[in-house]
Structures are given as structure tokens and as C-alpha cells.
Amino acid sequence: MRVILAAGGTAGHINPALAIADKIKTVFPESEILFVGAPDGMEATLVKKAGYNFRSFKMAGLQRKISVNNLIRNAKAAYYYITARSNAKKLLKEFRPDVVIGTGGYVSAPVLLSAARLGIKTATHESNSLPGVTTKLLSKNVDRVFVVDEAAKNRLPVQENAIVTGNPLRNNIPIEERNEARKRLGLPDGLTILSFGGSLGANKITEAVVELLKWESEVGGINHIHGYGGNGREMFDGLMEKEGVKRTDRMILKEYIDNMYTCMCAADIIVSRAGAMTLTELKAIGRASVLIPFPQAAENHQYYNALSMAESGAAILIEDKDLEKTKLRELITELSADIPKIREMENSAAALGSANAADVIVSRIIDLLEGK
């Protein structure tokens, strides 16, 4: 099988593409796989590190706010798109793929649209509950649209070719028993909170977490793991000092969490943003969560990711604008007194999981190539 995968921009686009590629290689070891992305994007590093061949097209997104600078940037984006369509057509004729698969990012549109025009089988995958502009555009042209959930499917302009698969994970998450994970982290028994998402200077999250830590140190018996990120250290340390919060052996407070799966397995409640892959991991492990969507995410898609989780009973949604300093503390206080509620949320999260997403996608691609 000869496959082109177009992906770029964010881990939520690139990791599903890598998961699909890995599954294709497992089923068809002799497959030839080529990735296409931007030369200076995250994909250039991740794809090459994974050992796949990579071809780059210069791409840029359209700016919606009107200004002189944005008009210039949009002119460049239009030029890059036209050039990418031409380059994609040449690449497709050269590589002769059996199927072209896109998983998001600006590069997906020119590659998939060119493939569809040449009569090559095409598919795209949407990792967010709110399909992006590219996915909506492509849904009218590609043969298959794979989506994370029913909410995403219902938001597509064309649904006849859409299939709910969930988000594929590249590697199976090593699920650890909760108490064993805590022991590995050196934490005692007790309710455990994991929080992260403040690395982009998320002042409200940092303030809310410090207020929560202050309460936890007063009541005792609660573990807390927090990743404040590279840009959050100064503010986090400053607030801890200002509020008089002393670090204890029940706290793991660090810049980066490099053993995230163990920390997630150890947790009872996870407080985070609502990126597609984070939610995929929450579902796979089965954990209750408090989700605070990043408000500057494209088209506010993280809000819709979190909303889908909340409506399923797996999470509690707090919009960033509503995150007052004491709100998180009050919410965790309430949840800590209702362990059955936490376990219900865990079960709801696990029910949303799709451990075999990559298998389903590859199976559907095989069906597509066989004309089914």
C-alpha cells in the first residue's frame, strides 16, 4: 500500500497521523508512507523522529482581523496555497499513492483536494468536537471523514461519508493501578489532584491552583501534582510566597511533567485545558476532569471539546472567563466530599474511550480501497 499523510500545526493533528501510519505499517509492513507538512512546523521534527519520510510545502493560515499587516499575510497565504496545490499535484503523480489521508493543518486542504481531483481515494480525520474550517471544506470532497465523536459528526455540512472512530493514540497508554502509581510517585494514600495547562501564562489557572493548594494544605490529606510550565514559574512561585503556601510531601510541583501517564493514573481529578489529545488520554485512562478551555484556540474549539465531555458526565466545564480565584477550590471541595460522583465521572470518561480507533480507521481505509 502506498500512502500519503498530510498533517501539521499541532500535536492534535500530527499524533493521530503517526498512529494511523504505525497501524498501517503493522498490518502492511511493506507499505510506503510519505508525510507532507510545513517545513518549519512541529510535524517536520516529529515525523522525522518517528522514522517516516517527509516532504514539505510552505503554508500559512488566513488572518481574520482586518489590518495592513494581515492583508499582506493573507496575500502570502493565498500564494502559498496556490503553490501548494501545484506542488501537491506533482507529488501525487510522482508518488502514485493508493490513498491520501489528512489529519488537519493548513497543508491538508491542498493535498487532499488535489488528490480528489485526480481520482485518488481520500480520507480525513478530525480530532476535535468542533470540526475546523479545513475539515468542513474537505467533507464535501473526500471519500471518508473520520471524526472523534457524534458531536463532531453532527456539525459537518456533509455527514453521509462521516464515521465516528475516536482519536487514535500512537502508543497504548500503560495503565497503572491508582495506588501503585501513587507509590511510584512517592505520594501517600489520599485524594489526588493533577493540574496543568498554565505554561502559556495562564494567569487565572495559576491563581486558582495556588488558592486550591492553600486550601489543601489547610485541610490536609490531599495530594497535588501540578505542572506550571516554562513560562509560569515566576508567577507560580510568586503567588505561593504571597499566599504563604508551604510545600509539603503531598505536593509535586514542577515546571514540566515528564511522567504524565503515571501522574494521570495516580489522579482522582485532573484539571487541564481541553486539547484533543489530552481528552483522548483522559478517556483512555478513565479519569474525572475539570476542563478550562483555552479561549484563544482556533474557533474556540477547546470549548466544544470540553462541552462534549461535560454533556456526557465525564467532566465539569469552567470557561476561562468564569474562573474566579476561588471557583476551583470550591468545586474541588464539593467533589472531595462526593467520591461516588468522582467514580461516576471516571466511568463516563472511560465509556467515551476508543482504544481501537487506529484499527477502525485502517479497516475503513481498506474497505474504501476495496470499493466497499
CATH code at 2-169+355-369: 3.40.50.2000
pLDDT at 160 exceeding the cut of 90: yes
Helix or strand holding residue 94 (H, E): helix 68-95
Closest listed residue to residue 131, CA positions, set 148, 112, 111: 148
Task: Give pTM, 2 decimals.
Answer: 0.89
Give the separation between CA 3 and CA 33, rounded to whole angstroms: 5
Instruction: Give the C-alpha distances (Å, rounded to integers) separating 202 from 96, 128, 282, 295, 315.
Output: 46, 22, 21, 10, 20
* Domains of the chain by residue range: 2-169+355-369, 178-352
Which helix (H) or strand (E) is 251 found in, with range? strand 251-254
pLDDT digits (tens, 9 = 90+) for 7-65: 988 888 999 999 999 999 999 999 999 999 988 888 999 999 999 999 988 655 555 56
Residue 112 pLDDT level (bands cut at 50, 70, 90): very high
* From the candidate CATH numbers 3.40.50.1100, 2.40.340.10, 3.40.50.2000, 3.30.365.10, the one assigned to the domain spanning 178-352: 3.40.50.2000
Contact 59, 102 (CB under 8 A): no
Mean pLDDT of 303-312: 97
| Bridge partner list, 290 | 271, 316
- Nearest Cα to 232, choosing from 200, 194, 269? 200
Residue with cell 489532584: 193
Q: Which of 155, 122, 119 is nearest to 138 (CA)?
A: 122
Question: Comparing 2-169+355-369 with 178-352, is the CATH topology the same?
Answer: yes
What mean pLDDT is predicted for residues 183-211? 88
The C-alpha atoms of residue 364 and residue 372 are separated, in whole angstroms, by 9
Residue 165 identity: T
Cell of 160: 453521509
